[in-house]
Amino acid sequence: MLRRRQFLQLGGAMLAMPSLARAQAPRGQITLMAYTGIFQDNYMATVVEPFQKAFPDIKVNYAPGGTSAAMLGNIRAQKADPQVDVVIMDVTTSSIGNAEGLFDKITPTEAPSLNELYSEARAVGGDFGPAVTYDHLVIIYDTQTVKPPLAKLADLWREDLKGFLSISAPPNIQGLALTCMVEKMEGGDHRSSINKAVKKLRELSPGVKTFEPNPDGATLLLNGVVKVATGWNARSQLYHDESKGRIGVLLPPEGSVFQINTINLTAGSKNKAAAAAFVNYALSQAAQKAFTERLYYAPTNAKAQIEPKALARTAATPETRARMIPVDWMEIVKIRDQWNNRWRREIIAAN
């Protein structure tokens, strides 16, 4: 039987429980570094702000980071005294950060949402940061001037489009992805050779207006400089909506290639608990659903229940996933310089 003193101690402890739990809950500030522009706007609205509502004691500062390589440069420069806690970047770049010890491993204990990810999304980072978004290469075109509309990748070689093409060449990963797609279209496999792709792209080269669209293909398209461009699906879908359908988006029936963004914990983060809480939230069903439905990045959480209408505009449906060309980006990175040189000497030079 409880004595009076023990009873009072237990009662006091129970009363103190909520404040103890709050004291242990992550709190403070963290800095998230990720892409700027429409990614930032939409990620803030669909992931960062809801996270801050769920964790009112944590403030997330969004640091726009430019390209993935630029973000890696920032993290390298801050290695001795990291100012950034979480980074979202392309997998080809985050793998460099993992190898250089710039990022920490993440366990399901720290981020239980890891257990809900597609197996390939978890595997892509190994024990380090997993995939947080999937995107894929599409062909965008001006629906007002391209008649008949584009229906397949092979349409890029159409006579009426000569001189009106914007193709992002390597080392931009759009160019690397296109190489894989054209090789497959020509009946080859990029894992053994890209000879067929190079031959075919060489034929396309004289009709290409620019191999380096600035600021991007969609802008050149809206300005009437080009009629067709390569682009990433998520942004292109948004441009489609913003241009009231003027920009058409084609996922080529010949197949496409996934671009993978990973979410990473910076090694030496001053607030690792809060950073891990954010990573967990970003990978959760709710955040993945909200971001996919807003910006059409395919989710990496297998349990996220995405609206069918939004899902159809990503590459996450079973039919489109089946069309994706399997690409091991770690292997591509190793031969990127060779591909880059072939583009410069054999494709771009063919004018």
Partner 1 sequence: MTSARWPLLAIPAALLLAVIYVWPSLDLFRTAFNETGATGAMIEAFSLKVWRDLLADPFTYELTVNSLWLSVTATSIALCVAYPIALFLFRTDTRFRGLLAVMAIMPMLVSGVVRIFGWLTILGDQGMVNSAARWLGLISTPMRLLFNWTGVTIGLAESILPYMILALLAGFGRLDRALEEAARSLGASPLRTFVRVTLPLSLPAIVLAAGLGFVLSMSAYITPKLLGGGRVFVLATEIFEQATTNANWPMASAMALYTLVLMLAFLGLSSVLSRRLAQ
Interface of this chain with partner 1, residues 310 to 349, rule: CB under 8 A:
330, 333-334, 336-337, 341, 344, 348
CA dist list (Å): 315 to 198, 209, 210, 250, 329? 26, 28, 27, 11, 18
What is the Cα–Cα distance from 79 to 231, expressed in whole angstroms? 33
Query: Do the Cβ atoms of 124 and 283 come closer than 8 Å?
Result: no
Residue 31, token pair as written in the block:
């800095």
- Cβ proximity to partner 1, 93 vs 179, nearer residue: 93
Task: Tell whether residue 172 is a contact of partner 1 (CB under 8 A).
Answer: yes
DSSP 348: I
Q: Please report how close the Cβ of residue 194 comes to partner 1 at its closest, in angstroms.
A: 18
Binding track over 11-50 against partner 1, x by CB under 8 A: ----------------------------------------
Q: Please report how close the Cβ of residue 338 comes to partner 1 at its closest, in angstroms.
A: 12
Q: Please report how close the Cβ of residue 146 comes to partner 1 at its closest, in angstroms.
A: 17
Binding track over 54-73 against partner 1, x by CB under 8 A: ------------xxxxx-xx
What's the CA angle centered on 134, arms 127 and 248, to 5 degrees?
170
Query: Do the Cβ atoms of 150 and 248 come closer than 8 Å?
Result: yes
From 212, 241, 242, 328, residue interacting with partner 1 (rule: CB under 8 A): 212
Which range binds partner 1 by CB under 8 A, 210-218, 229-237, 294-302, 314-322? 210-218
Q: Please report how close the Cβ of residue 169 comes to partner 1 at its closest, in angstroms.
A: 5
Q: Please report how close the Cβ of residue 186 comes to partner 1 at its closest, in angstroms.
A: 23
| Cα dihedral 329→332→337→340 (10° resolution) | -90
- Cβ proximity to partner 1, 73 vs 268, nearer residue: 73
Residues constituting the chain:
351
- Cβ proximity to partner 1, 52 vs 210, nearer residue: 210
Residue 242, token pair as written in the block:
């913003």
Pairing outcome for strands 131-142 and 258-266? antiparallel
- Cβ proximity to partner 1, 47 vs 84, nearer residue: 84
Count of alpha carbons within 13 Å of 203, Cβ hemisphere only? 12
Q: Please report how close the Cβ of residue 65 comes to partner 1 at its closest, in angstroms.
A: 12
Q: State phi, psi for 257 to the nearest 5 degrees.
A: -130, 135
Instruction: Please name the helix (run of DSSP H) or strand (run of DSSP E) that holds residue 122, with its range, or none.
Output: helix 119-123
Query: Do the Cβ atoms of 138 and 232 come closer than 8 Å?
Result: yes
- Cβ proximity to partner 1, 60 vs 327, nearer residue: 327
Q: Which residues pair with 232 in a beta bridge?
A: 137
- Cβ proximity to partner 1, 93 vs 237, nearer residue: 93
The string of DSSP letters for 12-74 reads: HHHHHHHHHHHHHS--EEEEEEE--THHHHHHIIIIIHHHHHHSTTEEEEEEE--SHHHHHHH
From 214, 244, 318, 322, residue interacting with partner 1 (rule: CB under 8 A): 214
Interface of this chain with partner 1, residues 218 to 277, rule: CB under 8 A:
224-225
Q: Please report how close the Cβ of residue 157 comes to partner 1 at its closest, in angstroms.
A: 19
For binding to partner 1 (CB under 8 A), which residues are involved? 66-70, 72-73, 76, 92-93, 95-96, 99-100, 169, 171-172, 209-212, 214, 224-225, 330, 333-334, 336-337, 341, 344, 348, 351
